[in-house]
Structure formats: C-alpha cells, structure tokens
Amino acid sequence: MSKPSIVLVPGAWHVPAHFNHVIEKLEDQAYVCVGVNLPTNSRNPLVDGRLLGIEDDVAAIRAAVTNQLDAGNDVVVVTHSYGTVPGTAALTGLSLKARKTAGNTNGVVGVVIISGFILPPDSTMLTIMNGQLPPQYLLETNTTLPFAGPGAINILYNDIDHNEALKAVWKLAPQSYGVNTSIIPDQVAGITGIQNAAVEALREKSVHVYKEIAKSGHSPFSE
C-alpha cells in the first residue's frame, strides 16, 4: 500500500520552511511532503484593490491537495494554528468517502491539527476578538500585521533552543490584515468524514477524533 502525500499548512506569519525539521524526517521515511505558501503571509497583500483574506488561503490549500489527489495519491493534511481555519475549510468534498461516492479511488484520509482551532462560520476573526487586536499584532499601513509586542520567541518558540528560535523568527512574514476582516468559512464541513487529530469540540459534530497531547509550546515542529 502506497504512503499518502503530506500537505503541510503553516499558520499566521509562518512559511513552509518552518516545517523543515519535520519534512526531513518524513522524507527519510519516503513520504512526499508539500508545503503550502499561504497568500496572506505576504509583505504585499493588497491585490487588485483588495486585501488578501482567508478565501485566498483556502484556494491555495485546496489547489495543493487536489494536485496530489490528481496524481493518484491519498493525502494527509497537517495544519498549524491559524492555518487550521483555511486548511480544514479547503477540504470540503475531498474526503476518501466523498470522493469514492463520486467515483474516485483516493482522497484525504487524515487531518492533523497542531495548536489549531475550529471557529464559528460566517463571523470574522476581528469579531471573535471583540474588535480588539492582540498586543502582538502590529497593524502596518492598514494592510499588514507583522508579529510584534512581547516577542515571537516568548509566544511561539519559548521551549526550543534559542538559536533555533532566532532562525524561526527570521523566517516569519507579515500577515494580511484581510485575514481578520474576511468571513470565516465552514471548517466542520471540510473535515466531515475524515479521521483527524483535532480538538474535543469536533466530537459534538460527529467527527471521529483522535487526541494527542504533547509537552510542547505553540510550535512543536520547530524542535
């Protein structure tokens, strides 16, 4: 039986290179790994007069997943933090069960959620935060949000080697402010029918969930 391809979805500010330690280990085990560059992690998020938002990340993730499905591979999707929002929403209709019903032989067979969250659809991130950006969000020229405030090391990489944490910080990119004002899509619809390591609340939606607790900070893949 062939191994599934692994599509890795970074969170806010993060890029696929943040998964390099994990990718190296997975590739040693003959897994095909695909990192998704989220369009909203950009220094220039204003495109055609609008700010890039969650829907743009959804499209990029879905394209990466369907590319592997079209190649005949099953897929496991790994999402981190904010990446869980578009990363799960992008999977609607792509589960193995749904694709078999449509006459295909492969599909998304698993979702691994790292430090992620399932948010109510049809709202916005800014609304959920009561209209107040956290102190680590620094709004630049009404378009981008670099990581600021208390410091990325203390919040994102507080439990790894300091030099490794510095390398991770240097890779961070600003995030489009449009992520906070665009409509949150339906995440549960995206992962219905897929076994996944997620959060307890999903069980209320009849999604089969496996839960693993790691003694780690927000970014365990950086170790």
pLDDT at position 159, please?
84
Residue 101 CB contacts under 8 Å (≥ 6 apart), including other chains: none
Q: Are 175 and 40 in contact (CB under 8 A)?
A: yes
Predicted confidence at residue 124, as pLDDT, reads: 94
169 CB neighbour count, 10 Å cutoff: 15
Which pLDDT score is estimated for 195? 44
**pLDDT one-digit tens code per residue, 107-163:** 999 998 888 888 889 999 999 999 988 877 777 778 888 876 556 788 888 888 888
Q: Say how many domains are in the chain.
A: 1
pLDDT (average), residues 44-51: 93
- For 145, the domain range is 5-222
DSSP 202: G
pLDDT (tens digit per residue) in 168-209 = 888 999 999 999 999 999 888 777 755 443 444 455 555 555
Whole-Å CA distances, 203 to 58, 76, 82, 186, 193: 23, 20, 20, 16, 12
- Percentage of the residues of the chain whose pLDDT score is greater than 70: 84
Helix, strand, or coil (residue 118): coil
Both tokens of residue 124? 């916005």
For residue range 151-165, list pLDDT tens digits in order.
678 888 888 888 888
pLDDT band with cut points at 50, 70 and 90 for residue 41: very high
Q: The CATH number of the domain where 80 resides is what? A: 3.40.50.1820
